[in-house]
Structure 1
Amino acid sequence: MELFDAWCDLAESKDKRKRLWALVEKERGREEIEDELVQVMRSHYDLIENIAEDVNRLGYAGAAKVLGAVLPQGAKSRSGDLGEILAAELVEEKTGFSVPIRRLRYKDGREMALRGDDFIGVAYDSDDRLWLLKGESKSRKKLGKTTITEARTALNRNHGRCTPDSLLFLANRLLDSNNRDDQDLGRTIRDEVGLEALRPNRIDHMFFTLSGNGVPNALIADLQAASINRNHYVVNLHIEDHGEFIAAIYTEVQDLGND
């Protein structure tokens, strides 16, 4: 199942290299994807195979305690994490980029936000050359101009390039893999940190927002003001009961049940 296709209607506005995607839940769309979303969220915190092994060894209650130890409990932390999770899933479903590392597995505290770019997408063009997507995500009950400005400032930082520490974090995790393709990608990304060979038009930007108030005018104005030397994606996923939805879905994520 394609998560967002089943969950939401997508309205696109496009102007040259700029896209605005407004996502609104379909009637009964949330019910359609709830089980899949729960599994997807778990997979961003741990390997599903690890959770299954915990169930085999510890039972459902014990496995839930292990999973619960890495899940954020505060409303702000949960909101931020869910924004990053949904952004990564949307990137892979809709853009042709992959997000090869699930960053939330590497948090050093479940309530702590990870430093660096919120997500990085990776692709190769038809000539097998590297292409990157630098991403910021924000999750707010009411999305406003201050938050939008903060995200755009982060995207423009480092001349619009992915930050070196974020790229090295990604590259080193890939180099730790036993998969040769992952290792090759990790080496390529490390080379990019040293050479800065990618031109601005080969580093796309995405600003993903999850909010209770839909697309504010400030978000449209932000996209209109963005430079035209690269592709831009600005995304809003409108969840009217923003806080209640996040609390409910995290309860489901931690409840492994008996199935």
Structure 2
Amino acid sequence: MVLYKKWCDATKEKDKRKRYWTYVEKDGGRDEIRDDLAETMRSHYDRLERIADDVQRLGYKVAAEILRTQLPQTDKGRSGDLGEILATELVEEEIGLRVPVRRLRYKDGRNMAMRGDDFIGAGYGGDDSKLWLLKGEAKSNKVLGKATVTSARKVLNRDNGRCTPDSLAFVANRLLESNDDGDVQLGRDLRDEVGLKTLRADRIDHMLFTISGNGPHASLKGDLEGAGTNRDQYVVNVHIEDHQDFIKEMYQKAEDLGDD
């Protein structure tokens, strides 16, 4: 879906392979995307066609209860999940790579955070149209500070800046279960990369994605300045002034399937 162009005003700075993007809600922007974002959130937890089938068979009230069992109910869980959802949508809308697996569908507890890389973008690029990856870390905070930014960068740099093998294998194996030939081919290439580790650093981009109530903390620019120059680096902040109220509002909207 087109989310950010309708929702936010963006400021984008670029210095060679380093990009610093900030987003602020437009006047009336939230009203423009509220319904679509709620549906997108549902799609990260379950297939929309399954939800529609539940509604057809069981009615809206029961279908909503089934969906609710998959959505986090704690403030921390909702904040973390929404950060990953918004990061995923940004990658696909603004960068053009796919985040091919909606990993929140595979949580073993709705209030638990999943281990591994927060999101992995994948596709084919360059002059040779070979595999290209993006390793991402998402943070959602009422008040964003330096400690959170430093921690996120540490995670991006681990495993020599590569996607962690277990995270990459998880994505690969889900794609190999698909009936789509393109998904299967991408899954094979990702699975090969888990074992061969032949992808150069300049084909594994990094994104540090943040959503916060206090806007872009100064540490974000400092982090980008200190980041390596051997890959594309994206540092992103989405400023939502009423951060916690926004999260509560959107999960209430996502849980509400209507009654007609």
Aligned twin of 1:112: 112
Q: How much does 1:258 deviate?
A: 1.9
The alignment partner of 2:20 has SS state of strand
Amino acid at match of 1:128: S
TM-score normalised by L of structure 2: 0.98
The alignment partner of 1:101 has SS state of coil
Q: For 1:105-140, what per-residue CA distance to the aligned partner results, in whole angstroms no more than 9, with x for missing partners?
A: 000000011110000001211422000000000000
2: CA distance between counterparts of 1:172 and 1:217? 39
Q: How much does 1:180 deviate?
A: 1.3
1: CA distance between counterparts of 2:20 and 2:129? 28
Aligned twin of 1:58: 58
Q: For 1:59-106, what per-residue CA distance to the aligned partner results, in whole angstroms no more than 9, with x for missing partners?
A: 000000000000000000000000000000000000011100000000
Amino acid at match of 2:103: R
2: CA distance between counterparts of 1:184 and 1:229? 27
Q: How much does 1:150 deviate?
A: 0.7
Aligned twin of 2:184: 183
2: CA distance between counterparts of 1:49 and 1:151? 35
Amino acid at match of 1:112: M
Q: How much does 1:13 deviate?
A: 1.3
Equivalent runs, 1:1-259 vs 2, <5 Å: 2-125=2-125, 126-259=127-260
The alignment partner of 1:117 has SS state of coil
Amino acid at match of 2:166: D
1: CA distance between counterparts of 2:217 and 2:52? 42
2: CA distance between counterparts of 1:51 and 1:59? 10
2: CA distance between counterparts of 1:16 and 1:127? 21
Q: How much does 1:217 deviate?
A: 0.6
The alignment partner of 1:72 has SS state of coil
The alignment partner of 1:149 has SS state of helix
Amino acid at match of 1:222: D
2: CA distance between counterparts of 1:179 and 1:155? 30
Q: Which runs of 5+ in 1 are unaligned?
A: none
Amino acid at match of 1:53: D
2: CA distance between counterparts of 1:248 and 1:34? 9
Q: How much does 1:22 deviate?
A: 0.3
Count of aligned positions: 259
8 Å contact kept, 2:61–2:259: no
The alignment partner of 1:11 has SS state of strand
The alignment partner of 1:227 has SS state of coil
Percent identity reads 63
TM-score normalised by L of structure 1: 0.99
RMSD: 0.7
8 Å contact kept, 2:54–2:63: yes
